[in-house]
A and B are shown apart, each in its own frame.
Chain A
Amino acid sequence: MATAYTPPEEGWATEPIERTEIIWIVLALSWCLFMFGWMIAWHWIGNQNMNNEAYRTTPEAYAKKVEDFTAKYTVRQDASDPSLPVVAPPPGSDVYLAASRWQWRPVLEFQKGKSYRVHISSLDWQHGFALLPENINFQAYPGYEQVITMTPNKTGTFGIACNEFCGIGHHIMLGRIYVKE
């Protein structure tokens, strides 16, 4: 009798397929097609999607944008670290967040239920935007500026950690977003 390690019996290509396999294949294939459809459908029925808006930039150009943005909307210094400005942009506006070794700057303040066009880019190596405890994660590259429209649905203090390894200070790389009513 043939086994996996001996050549198959002649006529293997036309041998009928047993019921167990047929039913399983049909079931699995249906599910696969469903998953494909669902991924598209979520762009219409779901509220969490990437719009994949992105631009080429340079670290210098992006740093300048972040600096101007910070200067324009700073409202106070942070209570945990008075050297850090807290920036509260108006709802609907463009927000510039920079990753660099090893910080996410500036600290942001949003209003619950309001939308912000958050730009994310790196000034040096690759980093990972990780919003905690929401657990929303994006890759940040130098030279590419990604825009995600975020609408906080709860208030509180949210951390931003880095989840792409970026050198020896990777684990101390932090930022923060405050969301108020």
Chain B
Amino acid sequence: MAITTAQSPFRIDPLTGMRIDLKAQALVKINAVLAVVFLLVGGAAGLLVALTRWPAVHLLPADLFYMALTAHGVVALMVWIIFFEMAVIYFCASTVLSCRLATPGWAWVQVVLMTVGAAITAVAILQGNSSVMMTSYVPMDAAPHFYLGLILFAVGALIGCFVFLGTLVIAKEEQTYKGSLPLTVYGCLIAVIIAIFTIASGAIILIPTFLWSLGLIESIDPMMYRVIWWAFGHSSQQINVTAHITIWYTVASLAFGAKPMSEKVSRTAFLLYILFLQLGSVHHLLSDPGMSSAYKIFNTSYMMYMAVLASMIHGLTVPGAIEVAQRRNGYNNGLFEWLRKCPWGNPVFACTILSIIIFGFIGGITGVTMSVEQVNMIIHNTIYVPGHFHGTVAGGTTLAFMGLTYYLIPVLFQRELILPWLAKIQPWLFGIGIAVFGVALMGAGTLGVPRRHHDMTFAGQALSFEWPGMAYMMMAVGEIGGVVSVVGGAAFCVIVVGSILVGKKVPADAKCIVAPHADRNADKHIGMGGFEAPGTFVLALTLFVCLVLYYFINFKYLATVWTLA
């Protein structure tokens, strides 16, 4: 059904009852499709890298390895994620608020700039003289267009942020919603605020670096570069965290009719990200010269680790909200009936729950531990670091985005998923693959294996160092996990692209897929022992115990190395 207002045509989606601005829909679609295409490219580069770091395979020669690794970092982390985030913020601002998108023309400028920027940087990388890794630490230099592409890409993303903000203003003025912003949109707003700070930091560092690569600026101080680059690099990860947590909340509502346990708590936790997370970039510089311990400790913790607190809160409240909804809907027996009765075969749910688990147990626990000033010395720049952040960006963010994509295909593309059996196992392939990859790489990193390294055997070198057999084994196991996750990632791309191209059209009279609020236990007390979500509480305590144990294990290990003062 299509209705038209003075401003912009809308349609009412049969599956969700949502009022969808068709111009916004086109923009969400194009951003999501570009994102998935780039995920495919990034994943292919990831496969090449993984097959090279698997000692028994050692696929690529050094120059191609470093080129593929630069491409993988840039394309997977920046291009795939940020294109998808553009889709998310447009969707949330327009569709969730039933509002028309502000300045669709500018949104198309965003699409074009980001695409052109990504293409320019990709060309620079493939030309071979810009294998500098996504961090491009000075004074190592890339070709000027490597930086130029990134700058254009960032300008595009900034335009997208303003389109989002403009849409919020319109929604408010035209009163398309009542009261406060929905949590979903509020989360996006937080992400966009962080994004603006992030892009500003990126501009402050990349523009001078671009000029330096052209010979217009004499030199760039390496410490200043790292401080500002990480103000950009770190806070860009906070955009991802905020975006994927927003998706967790949203999926909990879509799939279970779940209501956030406490809006107040969740919103405050989001706010803590702005106040305490995005400025805390020094945990990337803990083993660098030139900064005092007092500052390092202050910056990483702000004296109380409020950002860690915020993530721990979301980690409890999202599954908690699901538990409460499930209990109200009738699954109120024992600690875990609600969990057993979750739709484990539904890819939207499976992606989301795996994202929560992997982000918490792998990304979260290790992230907290490695950002301790002293523990960082036994982790900094080892392959442990990629182990950790694949738990956050691949297992956490990417998996959550995959889940949302499965949801968007029938709603926005109005197509049914093809290969439902593959969609059922895809989250598990990708999730378990990445989990094995992450954990094994952390094991290798604990033995000291360096990151971004072509040949851990140091073949032919006089001062060569012998690794214990365990280090080789960990690398092999990890990269096998990596290959499995690539298979999962490829399956995702096939399902998405295939569904869009040849999927069955969703009929106009399809029945609503948004979870009903059955509320069979509305009048009864739910939960146990005065806890509404006792199962989640037990799971959260498990995480807590793991975190505490792991934290002290690292200090125990630290205490055995050379004395450092």
Contacts and interface: CB of A to CB of B under 8 A. Distances in A.
Interface of A: 1-8, 10, 12-13, 15, 17-21, 23-25, 27-29, 31-33, 35-36, 38-40, 42-43, 46-52, 54, 78, 80-81, 84, 107, 115, 120, 124-126, 128, 130-146, 148-154, 159, 161-168, 170-172, 174-176
A164 B559 contact: no
A172 B461 contact: yes
A107 B536 contact: no
A101 B459 CA distance: 17
Given A12-B263, A20-B533, A148-B564, A52 B291 contact: yes
Contacts, number: 330
A137 B258 CA distance: 46
Contacts of B458: 161, 171-172, 174
A61 B229 CA distance: 27
Nearest to B548: A31
Interface string B285-300: 1111111110011001
A76 to B, nearest CB: 15
A139 B229 CA distance: 15
A4 B305 contact: no
Interface size grouping (class) on chain B: 35 or more
Contacts of B447: 133, 135
Contact of B563 (A19, A48, A167): A48
Most chain A CB within 10 A, of B179, B296, B321, is at: B179
A4 B248 CA distance: 10
B257 A168 contact: no
B559 A46 contact: yes
B301 A35 contact: yes
B96 A27 contact: no
A47 B551 contact: no
Contacts of B306: 32
B454 interface: yes
B222 A126 contact: yes
B106 interface: no
B469 to A, nearest CB: 13
Given A20-B531, A20-B532, A50 B450 contact: no
Contacts of A18: 261-262, 531-533
Interface in B297-350: 297, 300-301, 303-306, 308-309, 312-313, 316-317, 320-321
Contact of B264 (A15, A141, A144): A15
Interface stretch (B1-9, B118-126, B180-188, B503-511): B180-188
A171 B565 contact: no
Interface in B504-529: 517, 519, 527
Interface string B355-381: 000000000000010001110011111
B213 to A, nearest CB: 14
B452 interface: yes
B465 A132 contact: yes
B558 A48 contact: yes
Contacts of A115: 563, 565
A167 B249 CA distance: 43
Contacts of A166: 140
Contacts of A1: 257, 259, 517, 519
B453 to A, nearest CB: 5
Interface string B165-178: 00000000000011
B11 interface: no
Given A21-B320, A171-B454, A137 B381 contact: yes
B468 interface: yes
Most chain B CB within 10 A, of A13, A136, A146, is at: A136
Given A5-B184, A163-B382, A136 B309 contact: no
B21 to A, nearest CB: 16
5 contacts: A27-B544, A31-B548, A33-B304, A137-B287, A152-B562
A35 B258 contact: no
B171 to A, nearest CB: 11
B463 A107 contact: yes
A4 B250 contact: yes
A138 B378 CA distance: 9
B563 A136 contact: no
Interface string B143-154: 000000000000
Contact of A141 (B289, B373, B464): B289
A162 B287 contact: no
B218 to A, nearest CB: 13
B198 interface: no
Most chain B CB within 10 A, of A139, A143, A152, A164, is at: A139
A153 B226 CA distance: 33
Contact of A32 (B226, B309, B373): B309
B66 interface: yes
Nearest to B561: A134
B373 A50 contact: yes
B286 to A, nearest CB: 8
A81 B547 CA distance: 45
Contacts of B382: 130, 135, 137, 163
Most chain A CB within 10 A, of B62, B250, B290, is at: B290
A42 B555 contact: yes
Contact of B381 (A81, A128, A145): A128
Contacts of A49: 293, 373-374, 564-565
A5 B96 contact: yes
B240 to A, nearest CB: 18
A-B interface, 4 closest residue pairs, ranked by CB to CB distance from nearest: A159-B465, A146-B289, A163-B450, A3-B253
B257 to A, nearest CB: 6
Contacts of A133: 447-448, 465, 467-468
A17 B547 CA distance: 25
B372 A35 contact: yes
Contacts of B563: 47-48, 115, 149-151, 153
Given A48-B374, A136-B378, A80 B462 contact: yes
Interface in B249-282: 249-250, 252-254, 257-265
A5 B289 contact: no
A163 B181 CA distance: 46
A136 to B, nearest CB: 6
Nearest to B266: A4
